[in-house]
Amino acid sequence: MLDPAPHLSTDDAISDVDIFDHIGINNRKRIAEELCNKLRKAIISGKLPEGYIFPNENDLCKKLEIGRSTLREAYAPLETLHLITRTKSGTYVNKKADTNNSMNFDLIAQYTNPINMIEYRQIFEVGAARLAAQKAKRKHITELRTIVEAMERCGDAPEQLTELDFDFHFKLVAISANELLIISFNSIRLLYEKFVKQQFEKHMLPQSLVDHRALIEALVAGDPDQAGRLMTEHLEHIAKVARTSLPRSRATGD
């Protein structure tokens, strides 16, 4: 049985300008996706606080000039992410404890802004590369070189390159033998592959091969500082290409 909508106190209420007055739909062909992303960001940022009760569906559809089926399509992923609950009496924002949980991480990752992916990798993978340089054994080096050789043979095949690229970076994380790092990185695989495929479509392979080989040599030398620096440079090469294809607001994280 669903719990009733939690009470929204006067202190928490949005009393000045309603959040929906600021939601503009820019891409009319992808209305549901855009609305979902705007609402998700508003909930995660706290602009729509826990317990916030959404306007009546008919009123909201009229305000946003959309159909009820479009609104429900936008709501569906938010329900999957446990960000909102829909009942016969209305739709409301869930408690933070229900939305910010580890089991929800992989789902959130699928909908996150690409800039978050860039930042996540820059923070996460530099540390993972440093650990890998400290723990890598001969068999790990061989496995990494095999992946790079397979990438080289692929030529210009973005889908295959994307899978191999993930295998390379996942192997670096796996070398750490830290199960928390392994689970965390594996949980972003879908977004990772979607993100990286776009880079390989822009001919990132030559630079990736150079960067990967340099990282392997840092592991051979057992030099964590060098591995960290090289991973930082590698991810910046990727980010530079990625940002050229993002709208200005998404490229800056606004």
Pull the structure tokens for residue 200: 């390989």
Q: One digit per residue, pLDDT tens: the chain, 254 residues?
A: 344 444 444 344 444 346 776 676 666 668 888 898 889 888 877 888 989 999 999 999 999 889 999 999 999 989 888 889 999 889 999 987 666 665 567 667 767 778 888 899 999 999 999 999 999 999 999 999 999 999 999 988 999 999 999 999 999 999 999 999 998 898 888 888 888 998 899 989 999 999 999 999 999 999 999 999 999 999 999 999 887 766 554 544 44
Question: Do residues 185 and 173 touch, judged by C-beta distance below 8 A?
Answer: yes
Question: Do residues 175 and 132 touch, judged by C-beta distance below 8 A?
Answer: yes
Question: Do residues 218 and 135 touch, judged by C-beta distance below 8 A?
Answer: no
Instruction: Quote the distance between the C-alpha of residue 174 and its chain's center.
Output: 20
Pull the structure tokens for residue 117: 């992916």
Where in 14-156 does DSSP place strands (E)? 84-87, 90-93
> How far is Cα 101 from Cα 222, in angstroms, rounded to an integer?
36
Query: Closest by alpha carbon to 75, among 29, 13, 2, 66?
Result: 66
Pull the structure tokens for residue 216: 């392997």
Question: Do residues 241 and 202 touch, judged by C-beta distance below 8 A?
Answer: yes
Q: For residue 205, which amino acid is it?
A: L
Pull the structure tokens for residue 225: 């500082």
> How far is Cα 174 from Cα 131, in angstroms, rounded to an integer?
10
